Structure 1
Amino acid sequence: MDYFEVLLLEKTASPGEIKKAFYRESRTYHPDRFFHMESKELKERVHELYKRVTEAYYVLRDDTKRKKYLADIAGPERAQKLRFTEASEAETKAAAKKEQEEQIGTHPKGRQFYQQAQKDAEGGNLSAAERNMKMALTYEPSNARYKERLAEVQKQLADEAKNKDNSFKIR
């Protein structure tokens, strides 16, 4: 069963519906309701079911985890992806961190120069932007984002120079 089935929900359930379903199922399967039972095996099964209800709520209440979970259970490896494990969460966090680092860089000085270059470019100071992008690349020479941005700035500078040359020829 996937988490939506555990909480008796549609896959399009709203956050409010998820919360209501969790509280409903939590009250039904809470281990404290079964403390008086003799069967240890039954108590353990109820406890496992309660843990699954809690796990379902933990994943479905978080928009990011819910999107990933929906994609996972819709894919070809559905059977392996029904449970959201700590390992898959760590994998998701590591991928997000890597993506963020690739976007703006891993070195604090590199990020600082990159951000300054962005401000310079937005302000129209392309030569300062180029200089700051080159400085950012000294800290992170393999950062593809920095290289791409430097190439964009250099192309803008070349276009600007070309336009100046053409305006002089016209006069």
Structure 2
Amino acid sequence: MESRCAKLDQLDYFELLGLERTAAPGEIKKAFYKESRVYHPDRFFQLESKALKDQVNELYKRVTEAYYVLRDDTKRKKYLTDIAGPDRAQKLRFTDASESETKAAAKKEQEEQIGTHPKGRQFYAQAQKDLESGNPSAAERNLKMALTYEPSNARYKEALAEAQKQTADKSKGDSSFKIR
């Protein structure tokens, strides 16, 4: 155990749990439970050596950290990229900075999507077709429906404002035509 604790700073999460980098979620969970049973601090309460207890606690924390990162598909993907790069030694632990990078990447990916709800995306797509065919009032209705599924979607709100502007412009054009 002491030799394993000494190498702790050189092991990545896969090595720590004794897994291949292609391990399935079930294998990750199984390896975590195996390691956590072996190194759980409660098993070592009777030890007199505080230094050894601290090592066991550190090892257990690292095993738990490994499971926390590897069980999450997004974090595991980022972690695999990090440990495969030239800065491997600095990226062996998934830090708060890694966490914020992962969240920023996920947020960017979500923003690049048209929407998160399938029905919202469907209504948005129909609204786009309505706008292209010159029917802004139908687009407006579809965008309002899309917003019922995703009320905070900025893209839908912008498109709705544009459709409302086109509807207003069209009605002004129609009324000025009738007056003449």
Which interval holds the TM-score relative to the shorter structure?
A: 0.5 to 0.7
Shift of 1:116: 5.6
Match of 1:87 in 2: 97
* Residue equivalent to 2:127: 120
SS of 1:84's equivalent? Answer: coil
For this pair of structures, how many residues does the alignment match? 132
Letter of the aligned partner of 1:27 in structure 2?
A: R
Of 25, 48, 61 in structure 1, the residue corresponding to residue 35 of structure 2 is 25
CA–CA distance in 2 between the matches of 1:29 and 1:8?
Answer: 14
**CA gap 1:56/1:117 in 2 versus in 1, 3 angstroms:** closer
Quote the residue 2:6 is aligned against.
Answer: none
The 8 Å contact of residues 117 and 128 in structure 1, kept in 2 or not, is answered as no
- C-alpha contact (below 8 Å) 2:32/2:67 kept by paired residues: yes
Between the aligned residues of both structures, percent identity stands at 69
Q: TM-score, normalised by structure 2?
A: 0.62
Structure 1 unaligned blocks of 5 or more: 106-111, 141-171
> Normalization by structure 1: what TM-score?
0.65
Pair 5,120 (structure 1): closer, same or farther in 2 beyond 3 Å = same
Aligned residue number for residue 158 of structure 2:
136
Question: Equivalents in 2 of 1:18, 1:64: separation in Å?
Answer: 15
In structure 2, distance between residues paired with 1:124 and 1:51: 56
Q: Report the equivalent of 1:77.
A: 87
SS of the residue aligned with 2:20?
Answer: coil
Is 1:55 equivalent to 2:71 in the alignment? no
Once the 2 structures are TM-superposed, how far is the Cα of residue 117 of structure 1 from its aligned partner? 5.4
Equivalent pair of 1:29/1:46 in contact (CA under 8 Å): yes
Are 1:11 and 2:32 matched, yes or no?
Answer: no
Within-5 A mapping of 1:102-113: 102-104=112-114
RMSD between aligned residues: 3.1
What runs of 5+ residues in structure 2 fail to find an aligned partner? 1-10, 141-154, 163-180
TM-superposed CA distance for 1:115, in Å, is 7.7
Q: How has the CA–CA distance of structure 1 residues 5 and 139 changed in structure 2, closer, same or farther, with 3 Å as cutoff?
A: farther
- Report what 1:44 is aligned to: 54
C-alpha change, 1:117 and 1:28, in structure 2 (3 Å) is closer
Q: CA deviation at 1:62?
A: 1.2
Aligned to 2:94, the other structure's residue is in SS state coil
- Which residue in the other structure is 2:149 paired with? none
Q: Tell me which amino acid in the other structure corresponds to 1:73.
A: I
- What corresponds to 2:146 in structure 1? none
Q: 1:115 to 1:8 in 2, by over 3 A?
A: same
